[in-house]
């Protein structure tokens, strides 16, 4: 029995109503069923990559501030030298993948949710009912996002690991 159900039986106001769904949907992508639901995978990946990018952004702002904070470049140069190792390059590679996926999927979300592109028109739900969103080009757009993000991720890996450039 879940915490939520226990709360309900005891007559306590149900709190954390969204908690199981939140963890399941947002923070543990391995638990959700994505077969025939690529949009679900896209949604979860968008949140996970967003959280990773935010963590990197906060660190990036702090690291960029080092020469201004110390009024010298020597501390920043030694910090940059310490970052020049395979573990850090792998971290950069992960962040680059997150940025490309989050950015491209963000453009898709802007097009479909904000500008209403590629979502089809409403229609009467006659059986066998297939929602217009599933028939329109938004799913092709989604697959394009997955493919383009993978291509950009590989290219960024070539740059980060010094193979290209």
Partner 1 sequence: MGNASRLAIWQYITAIILIAVLTGHLIERFPPVTHQSYEQSLSPSTFYSRLKGAWGIGLLLLAYVALFHGLNGIRGMLYEWLPGRRREKVWDALFWILFIIFASIATYTVIALPAPTLPK
Residue numbers at the binding site for partner 1 (CB under 8 A): 15-19, 22, 26, 47, 50-51, 53-54, 57-58, 61-62, 64-65, 67-69, 71-73, 76-77, 80, 84, 99, 103, 106-107, 109-110, 113-114, 159-160, 162, 164-165
- Cβ at position 130, least distance to partner 1 in Å: 27
Of 130 and 154, which CB lies nearer to partner 1 in the complex structure? Answer: 154
Angle at 59 between CA 55 and CA 61, to 5 degrees: 120
Q: Using DSSP, how many helices (H) and how many strands (E) does the chain show?
A: 8, 0
Count the Cβ atoms, other than its own, within 10 Å of residue 5.
10
- Cβ at position 160, least distance to partner 1 in Å: 7
Backbone φ/ψ region at 36: left (φ over 0), alpha (ψ -120 to 50), beta? left
- Measured in Å, how far apart are the chain's first and last C-alpha atoms? 57
- Cβ at position 135, least distance to partner 1 in Å: 25
Of 64 and 123, which CB lies nearer to partner 1 in the complex structure? Answer: 64
Count the Cβ atoms, other than its own, within 10 Å of residue 24.
13
- Cβ at position 62, least distance to partner 1 in Å: 7
């Amino acid at each position: 029995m879940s915490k939520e159900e226990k709360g309900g039986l005891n007559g306590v106001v149900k709190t954390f109503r969204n908690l199981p769904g939140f963890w399941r949907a947002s923070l543990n992508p391995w638990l959700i069923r994505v077969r025939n639901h690529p949009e679900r995978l896209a949604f979860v990946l968008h949140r996970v990559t967003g959280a990773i990018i935010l963590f990197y952004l906060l660190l990036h702002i702090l690291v960029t501030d080092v020469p201004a904070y110390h009024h010298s470049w020597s501390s920043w140069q030694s910090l940059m030298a310490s970052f020049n190792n395979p573990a850090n390059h792998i971290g950069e590679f992960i962040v680059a993948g997150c940025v490309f996926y989050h950015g491209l999927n963000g453009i898709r979300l802007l097009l479909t949710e904000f500008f209403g592109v590629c979502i089809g028109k409403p229609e009467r739900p006659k059986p066998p009912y297939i929602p217009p969103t599933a028939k329109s080009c938004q799913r092709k757009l989604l697959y394009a996002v997955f493919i383009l993000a993978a291509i950009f991720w590989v290219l960024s890996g070539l740059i980060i690991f010094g193979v290209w450039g």
